[in-house]
Amino acid sequence: MMLELIVLLLAGGVVAWQSERFNPNLPRWIAMATVILGMLLLLSTISGIPADTFNMVTEPSKAENWLLYSRHEWIPRFGISLELGMDGLSLLMLILTLALGAIAIVSSWNEIEFKPGLFQANLLWTLTGVIGVFLALDLFLFFLFWEVMLIPMYLLIAIWGHENRGYAAMKFFIFTQVSGLLMLLSIIVLAVQGAGDGDISFSYGDLLGSAPTGKAGMLTMLGFFLAFTVKLPGFPFHTWLPDAHTQAPTAGSVLLAGILLKTGAYGLLRFCIPLFPEASMQFAPIAMTLGTVGIIYGAVLAFAQSDFKRLVAYSSVSHMGFVLLGLYAWNSLALQGAIMQMVAHGVSTAALFMMAGALQHRLHTRDMNRMGGLWYNAPRMGACAMFFAVASLGLPGMGNFVAEFLVLAGLFAVSPWMTAAAAIGLITAAIYSLWLMQKTFQGKPDEERKLQDFDRREMGAMVIMMAALLWLGLYPQPVFDLTQPVLEGLQPLIVNVPETLAGNIPGGTP
């Protein structure tokens, strides 16, 4: 199924690309159909898996404990195989990817006039790469998908982006590519020294527990950490993000914020920490400090922006700081919080970027000083913006609140001071989110302005995302149930976990 899903999206891209010859409206329908087909394929496969498999603790080195697992020989010279595996975490990420992929297509439904076929193709190819990242278990394969998803994303920004697209696309590519090369180096070092005198292997299961110790282990770990933190993005490697987000077309921003950033968090959780337990725990204080600084720094910068998209971009830096904190606190509570943050932030930021795109499409500006009082002109947009702004500031009842609360609760056991500092982020989030609302939708309306309100298509997308956030906020248990076995499999890999209150999520699975 997993290979089929990847091939489906890849082929869908080619078909969408070529279909523009017949009708410029065709590509978006084909892209939509491809994503929906992918979703159906995924759901039908899941429904075929016996229910108790979902409760089985995933031990990464045992193939039979994955929900789905497949392996084909590829380059035997280096022990590289097409090894794909899906567990609860990957499944959650796949659902998020496909759902946000559909949202991205909807959000750019009428926006693209230049070469719509190639645009949709690049969207689908980006999704292909991301799905590959979430499924790959062979580190070589993982790296391949990691890099390959950059190219369609680069083209999305470079071709369909806004005024300064060349610079932004280049910066995005160079940041991720150079850090990626460092990761490739680390992967090879890990494989070569993990092999010893035996056969070399890039398989995740084989490499677990084979990390070098001491200084070498730390350096190797840093290669992974850098690549993932650049993508996350963590402070101080975030500088590509505001540019890329601001210049990308709406669909590109949605994908970038909603999914691509999550590949960084996923990489940390799946690869960086489990592969290097010792080095990671030594490094945890620094990583958590970076996370805390990122939360506050991102929030302060977000408040200073006058560009709608830039503000949202910096708020992403702030929110992803919580993910970094949660991951390195490494207890159930914090980890569940981090995963929840990945999902909730994906949805809420995607919605905000869609809003920004819709505004830019209508007003031809992203400058908030030239907005104001838009609620009067477009009440539906105003209501949606309000909803997602308060979701982003972490209002109880939404997914983001659950996420940030869990991270802080888990973190408190590890480092109370860090928790106190990070909690400032909740306040600053309220400031910049409400500031955003005041500058754009409230204030004195311009009655001359003709602003077309959200139509049925856009409202549909918004309502779906609202429902998702509410569901995550009010009944998050299914997400916890899905990922708990994965975490139970990963956690024992690190022996000397910092002092924790530990324990399961209240009311979670035993």
Partner 1 sequence: MNEFVAIAPLLMLALGATAVMLQIAFLRSVRLTAVVATVSLLLASASCFYANDTAPLQVGALLQADTYSLLFCILFTLAGAVTCVLSLDYIQHHGDEPEEYFLLLILATLGACVLAYAVHLASLLLGLELLSVSLYALIAYPNRSLLPLEAAIKYLVLSGAASATLLFGFALLYATTGTLHFSELGTALEQSDMGAALPMAGAAMILAGLAFKLSAVPFHLWTPDVYDGAPAPISGFLASVGKAAVFVVLLRLFLEANLFRYERLVELTGLMAILSMLAGNLLALQQTNIKRMLAYSSIAHIGYLLIVFMVCLDLSNRDIAIEAAAFYLIAYTATTLAAFGLLTLINEKRVEREQVQLQHVSGLFWRQPVLAGLMLVALLSLAGIPLTAGFIGKFYIFSAAVSGSNWILLAALIIGSGISIYYYLRVVFYMTKHAEEHKDAIELSPGWSGKALSCLLIASILVLGIMPQSLIAVLGSIL
**443/434 Cα distance (integer angstroms):** 12
Helices 116-135 and 88-107, axial angle in degrees (round to 10): 170
144 is an interface residue for partner 1 by CB under 8 A: yes
111 is an interface residue for partner 1 by CB under 8 A: no
Exactly one of 1, 46, 95, 189 binds partner 1 (CB under 8 A); that residue is 189
Which residue's CB is nearer to partner 1, number 115 or number 449?
A: 115
Exactly one of 169, 256, 284, 472 binds partner 1 (CB under 8 A); that residue is 169
Burial of 327-353, coded b for 16+ CB within 10 Å and e otherwise, reads: bbbbbbbbbbbbbbbbbbbbbbbbbbb
125 is an interface residue for partner 1 by CB under 8 A: no
Q: Are 359 and 388 in contact (CB under 8 A)?
A: no
71 is an interface residue for partner 1 by CB under 8 A: no
Which residue's CB is nearer to partner 1, number 158 or number 324?
A: 158
* Structure tokens belonging to residue 351: 């919605």
Exactly one of 115, 162, 361, 380 binds partner 1 (CB under 8 A); that residue is 115
7 is an interface residue for partner 1 by CB under 8 A: no
Residue given tokens 């982020």 in the structure block = 425
Exactly one of 37, 54, 111, 147 binds partner 1 (CB under 8 A); that residue is 147
74 is an interface residue for partner 1 by CB under 8 A: yes
Q: Are 239 and 231 in contact (CB under 8 A)?
A: no
Burial of 268 (0-12, 13-18, 19+ CB in 10 A): buried
CB neighbours of 293 closer than 8 A, spacing ≥ 6? 235, 321
CB neighbours of 287 closer than 8 A, spacing ≥ 6? 225, 234, 280, 324, 327, 328
Which residue's CB is nearer to partner 1, number 68 or number 188?
A: 188
CB neighbours of 506 closer than 8 A, spacing ≥ 6? none
192 is an interface residue for partner 1 by CB under 8 A: yes
Which residue's CB is nearer to partner 1, number 170 or number 300?
A: 170
Exactly one of 184, 221, 413, 422 binds partner 1 (CB under 8 A); that residue is 184
* Structure tokens belonging to residue 73: 């020989």
The contact pattern for partner 1, residues 440-459, with x = CB under 8 A and - = no contact, is --------------------
SS3 at position 68: strand
Q: Supply the minimum distance, in Å, between the C-beta of residue 346 and partner 1.
A: 25
Pick out residues in 276-295 that bind partner 1 (CB under 8 A): none
Residue given tokens 């910068």 in the structure block = 301
Compute CA 215 distance to the chain's CA centroid, rounded to the nearest angstrom. Answer: 31
Q: Which of 400, 397, 387 lies closest to 326 in space, CA to CA?
A: 400
18 is an interface residue for partner 1 by CB under 8 A: no
**306/370 Cα distance (integer angstroms):** 10
Exactly one of 48, 64, 72, 76 binds partner 1 (CB under 8 A); that residue is 76
Question: Judged by CB under 8 A, which stretch of 182-190, 284-292, 335-343, 450-458 contacts partner 1?
Answer: 182-190
185 is an interface residue for partner 1 by CB under 8 A: yes
166 is an interface residue for partner 1 by CB under 8 A: yes
Question: Judged by CB under 8 A, which stretch of 90-98, 152-160, 203-211, 325-333 contacts partner 1?
Answer: 152-160
Site size with partner 1, rule: CB under 8 A: 32
Question: Judged by CB under 8 A, which stretch of 151-159, 355-363, 456-464, 468-476 contacts partner 1?
Answer: 151-159
148 is an interface residue for partner 1 by CB under 8 A: yes
Compute CA 105 distance to the chain's CA centroid, rounded to the nearest angstrom. Answer: 17
Q: Supply the minimum distance, in Å, between the C-beta of residue 189 and partner 1.
A: 5
CA 482, 485, 490, 496 torsion: positive or negative? Answer: positive
Binding stretches for partner 1 (CB under 8 A): 74-78, 114-115, 140, 143-144, 147-148, 150-151, 154-155, 158-159, 166, 169-170, 173-174, 177-178, 181-182, 184-185, 188-189, 192
